Amino acid sequence: MTNELSPQYANELPMVVAKNVHKSFGHNEVLKGIDMEVPRGSVVSLLGASGSGKSTFLRCINSLEKIDGGRIWIDGELVGYKEKNGKLHDMTEAEITKQRIRTGMVFQQFNLFAHMTVLENIIEAPINVLGRTRKEAITRARELLERVGLASHHGHYPMQLSGGQQQRVAIARALAMDPEIMLFDEPTSALDPELVGEVLDVMRGLADSGMTMIVVTHEIGFAREVCDQVAFLHDGQVVEQGKPVDVIGNPQHERTQSFLSKVL
């Protein structure tokens, strides 16, 4: 194997391919051989109980965690490692940072800079990482704020915003880096119930625009209505995967059945 995916993907390269991915923290094996493909332009939700490995897998895709076994490719490029003569070699931090730019990530917590305005939060990385001019970054930021319904809030500070508004700013900030794929780690779990809808609406818009997305969520309605594929994780493994109508509407695995019976 090389840094590139095999010829079987030559005609239709998936955005993400994971093969036999393992990850442990000390003696705790969290991921136990994850296999998954995410076609470009598709939306995949990861469902499962807390501790099933969903968030860890997402962090591995973004190289926030280093995998212990297996391989992950984004757009055909091996993530986190270089492979030479069948051996893996660690990438440098600079190489990983450059690679990570291709993936936007939105977390449970908004992680906005409290001392910066909404606009300043969004333009920070495009200027300092991508090397864009301030004028270019501001123009793009204003476009994105319009997209997430916050055009009039560009001068506000995070503490002046609701949780839902802060999360929408976080989405705009991630999009400002022009990622190839967006990763969402339970983006609505820290929100009051009445604010969840406004964030999900923005995510629906992204899905409609053709953005490739992997979403860790407990929002079953979103998974059913918006996602192309649903993967159910249990104990570090994908135990069931398919179209939402099948996995959510007619689950076959007992763990999927048990989980859905409690959350639906």
pLDDT in tens, 144-157: 999 999 999 999 99
Percent of the chain predicted with pLDDT > 90: 91
Residue 86 has pLDDT above 90, yes or no: no
For range 57-74, the mean pLDDT: 95
- pLDDT surpasses 70 at 123: yes
Q: How many domains does the chain have?
A: 2
Among 137, 157, 179, the domain-final residue is 179
Taking 60 as the threshold, does the pLDDT of residue 2 lie above it?
no
Tens of pLDDT, residue by residue over 184-211, are 999 999 999 999 999 999 999 999 999 9
Do the beta carbons of residue 179 and residue 209 sit within 8 Å? no
- Boundary-marking domain end, from 179, 194, 221: 179
Instruction: Give pLDDT, residue 83.
Output: 86
Examine the domain organization and report whether 245 and 189 are in the same domain: yes
Mean pLDDT of the chain: 94
Q: Domain boundary residue among 126, 154, 179?
A: 179
What local confidence, expressed as pLDDT, does residue 10 receive? Answer: 47
Instruction: Look up residue 189 and give its amino acid.
Output: S
Question: Is residue 65 in a domain?
Answer: yes
Q: Give yes or no: residues 49 and 147 share one domain.
A: no
169 and 192: one domain?
no
The answer as to whether 245 is a domain residue is: yes
Are 86 and 11 contained in the same domain? yes
Residue 152: C-alpha distances to residues 25, 91, 155 (Å): 44, 42, 8
Window from 4-13, 111-120, 170-179, 212-221 with minimum mean pLDDT: 4-13
pLDDT at 255: 96
- The pLDDT score that the predictor gives to residue 134 is 98
Residue at 72 is within a domain: yes
Task: Classify residue 145: in a domain, yes or no.
Answer: yes
Whether residue 163 has pLDDT greater than 80: yes
pLDDT-based confidence at 6, cuts 50/70/90? low
- Residue 33 · residue 22 · CB < 8 Å: yes
Pairwise CA distance, residues 251 & 53, whole Å: 20
Is 70 exceeded by the pLDDT of residue 11?
A: no
Domain enclosing residue 173, as ranges: 113-179
* pLDDT attached to residue 1: 36
173 and 191 fall within a common domain: no
Q: What percent of the chain has pLDDT over 70?
A: 96
Q: What is the pLDDT of residue 8?
A: 56
How would you write 44-59 as a 3-class SS string? Answer: EEEECCCCCCHHHHHH
Model pLDDT, residue 27: 95
Q: With 80 as the cut, is the pLDDT of residue 117 above it?
A: yes
Residue 136, pLDDT above cutoff 70: yes
Can you say how many angstroms the Cα of residue 154 is from the centroid of all Cα atoms in its chain?
25
